[in-house]
Amino acid sequence: RRELFILEPRRVELWRYDGKDYKRVSFLPLPAPLASVRPRRDMGTLVVADVDGDGKSELLVRSSVHEQCVEIVLRGDKLEKRRTLHDYPLMPIDVGGKRALLMGTAGPGVDWFPSSALSVDSGQANGSTDPAVTTAAVSSVMQLLPVSFYGLSATQIASAKGPRRYAAALDVKGRLYIYDGKLSRTIGSSAGIGVGFALADIDDDGQLDVLSSEPVGPEDQDRVSVHRLSGAQLTQLWRSSELGGRVLAIAHGDLDGNGKQEIVVAIAPRRGRIKLVVFG
Q: pTM of the prediction? A: 0.87
Q: Does residue 127 have a pLDDT over 60?
A: no
Q: Are residues 114 and 56 in the same domain?
A: yes
State the total domains in the chain. Answer: 2
Contact yes or no for 135/65 (Cβ under 8 A) = no
Asked if 49 and 100 sit in the same domain, the reply is yes
7 and 120 in a single domain? The answer is yes
45-83 pLDDT tens trace: 999 988 877 888 899 999 999 999 999 999 988 999 999
- Is residue 171 located within the same domain as residue 188? yes
3-class DSSP state of 131: helix
Alpha-carbon distance of 227 to 241, in angstroms, equals: 15
Q: CATH number of the domain at 226, please.
A: 2.130.10.10
Count how many Cα atoms sit within 13 Å of the Cα of residue 194 in the half-sphere of its side chain: 25
Same domain for 120 and 41: yes
Looking at the chain, list the stretches that DSSP marks H as alpha helix, in order from N- to C-terminal side: 131-144
Is the domain of 122 the same as that of 202?
no
Give the sheet arrangement for strand 186-190, strand by strand: 113-114, 148-159, 162-171, 176-180, 186-190
| Final residue before a domain boundary, out of 111, 129, 144 | 144
pLDDT at 145 over 90: yes
Instruction: Give the count of beta carbons closer than 10 Å to the beta carbon of residue 227.
Output: 21
Full domain range(s) for residue 276: 149-280
203 shares its domain with 129: no
Answer yes or no: do 138 and 166 share one domain: no
Cα torsion 211, 112, 43, 182: sign: positive
